[in-house]
Homo-oligomer: A and B are copies of this chain.
Amino acid sequence: MVPELSVSRRTRSTPFTSRVDAAGVQAYTVYNHTLLATKFRGFVEDYWHLCEHVQVWDVSCEKQVAISGPDAYRLIQLMTPRDLSKARIGRCFYVPLCNPQGGIVNDPIAIKLSDNDWWLSIADTDVMLWAQGLATGLKLDVTVTEPDIWPLAVQGPKAEELMARVFGESVRDIKFFNIKPMYYQGVAMQVARSGWSKQGGFEIYVNDASLAGPLWDQLFTKGQDLNVGPGCPNLIERVESGLLSLGNDMGYDTTPLECGLGQYVDLEADIESLSLPALRQLPPKRELKGLVMNQACKISDSQVYIDGVFVGEITSHAFSPKYGVHLAFVLCSLSVLGANLKLDIQTDTGLQEGLLTSLPFNFNALGLAPNP
């Protein structure tokens, strides 16, 4: 039986929730204490629509942790091993946040709004509490808050066209991972070219609850001929694209070096970062790898084996309708993995073989072509 979700004041609704409900949401999850839709027509139908058209996503659950004051940069740099010392205003940065042991606390987008004003657009842990604890303990000259901001994502190949119709042509000039204020009904709100898919698009940092409904409605009115639809981060698309999910594929017990995020760790940088000493010293014990199975399957045990020896755990998986294979992420123990590339996966119909590969998936190199 598929369980219902009990909704309460604690599982926060958003200024878009009435629209999401009216659009026929089938399933939710709870993310940062907030409702996040997971399915409208079905994972597969939602997937194809996202890859071909344009979707509007209520991602209010991406809370903004706003860090302001003379010590804002210092606090953010302490929290991440990525060198932000040369960060420019108006740019977005994917930053693993790590504790002093090197474990991943969160993997937000850091947004530099001014020298003393940053936002962390967070995944599903209470980063505000960690930042407030550090700021209080270190007596930093900053304020750390969670302002009333409800991001709305517009994603898909037709996202730019739809955004231009609502925000004007200049939205086309926003480059990837850049952010700038745009106006909606006279109110300035930050708009970034970003989003949790690889289909292209924007995130609108809506800062006025009374404009949320009108903005949602206008995106649908102006996008009718673009086949705009309601949507949400899609499991199939994000696995295919190699996008990791905090709590699923990484967390306190993994380091960014173990999860393929080494490019966001500046081991040589001369910066004050809580996690760098540990990350410099600890050799990775595990590695997050891709796994490809030749056919759709019902995985019955997330633990995977080589010749009966436990070697790792599947953290996310989905069947790719585009490539006709089942894709997974596997967190492998390097000590037992060795040079092996073939794993055994328990499925409803018995053991099935899977091929280990690097992430993100290189479908070309795997000899896989998209279905026409």
Which A residues lie at the B interface, using CB under 8 A? Answer: 1-12, 21, 24-30, 33, 38-39, 99-100, 105, 124-127, 129-139, 146, 245-248, 252, 274, 302, 315-316
Bound-complex Cα distance A27 to B24 (A): 19
Bound-complex Cα distance A145 to B349 (A): 39
Q: Are A133 and B137 in contact (CB under 8 A)?
A: yes
CB neighbours of A315 from chain B (8 A): 9
CB neighbours of A39 from chain B (8 A): 4, 6
Question: Of the candidates B8, B127, B137, B247, which one forms a contact with A137 in the assembled complex, judged by CB atoms under 8 Å apart?
Answer: B137
19 contacts between A and B (CB under 8 A): A3-B4, A3-B25, A3-B28, A4-B39, A5-B5, A5-B28, A6-B29, A8-B245, A8-B248, A9-B248, A9-B302, A99-B136, A126-B126, A129-B129, A129-B130, A132-B133, A133-B134, A133-B137, A136-B137
Known contacts A33-B124, A105-B129, A129-B126; is-contact A5 B8 (Cβ 8 Å): no
Bound-complex Cα distance A105 to B2 (A): 33
Query: In the complex, how many angstroms separate the beta carbon of A83 from the nearest chain B beta carbon?
Result: 20
Bound-complex Cα distance A136 to B246 (A): 23
Shortest Cβ distance from A35 into B: residue: B3
CB neighbours of A3 from chain B (8 A): 4-5, 7, 25-28
Query: In the complex, how many angstroms separate the beta carbon of A304 from the nearest chain B beta carbon?
Result: 14
Q: Are A28 and B6 in contact (CB under 8 A)?
A: yes
Closest 7 CB pairs of A and B: A137-B137, A133-B133, A10-B247, A129-B130, A30-B30, A5-B5, A126-B126
CB neighbours of A2 from chain B (8 A): 4-5
Q: Are A30 and B4 in contact (CB under 8 A)?
A: no
CB neighbours of A28 from chain B (8 A): 3-6
CB neighbours of A99 from chain B (8 A): 132, 136
CB neighbours of A8 from chain B (8 A): 29, 245, 247-248, 316
Q: Are A133 and B129 in contact (CB under 8 A)?
A: yes
CB neighbours of A4 from chain B (8 A): 2-5, 26-28, 39
Bound-complex Cα distance A25 to B8 (A): 18
Bound-complex Cα distance A200 to B106 (A): 39
Q: Which of A26, A125, A134, A248 has the most CB of B within 10 A?
A: A134
Query: In the complex, how many angstroms separate the beta carbon of A216 from the nearest chain B beta carbon?
Result: 18
Besides the contacts A12-B247, A132-B133, what 13 more A-B pairs have beta carbons closer than 8 Å?
A: A3-B7, A5-B29, A6-B38, A8-B316, A10-B245, A30-B30, A33-B247, A126-B129, A129-B130, A134-B136, A136-B137, A137-B138, A146-B252
Q: Which of A3, A4, A11, A28 has the most CB of B within 10 A?
A: A3
CB neighbours of A21 from chain B (8 A): 1
Bound-complex Cα distance A27 to B5 (A): 6
Query: In the complex, how many angstroms separate the beta carbon of A195 from the nearest chain B beta carbon?
Result: 19
Query: In the complex, how many angstroms separate the beta carbon of A255 from the nearest chain B beta carbon?
Result: 16
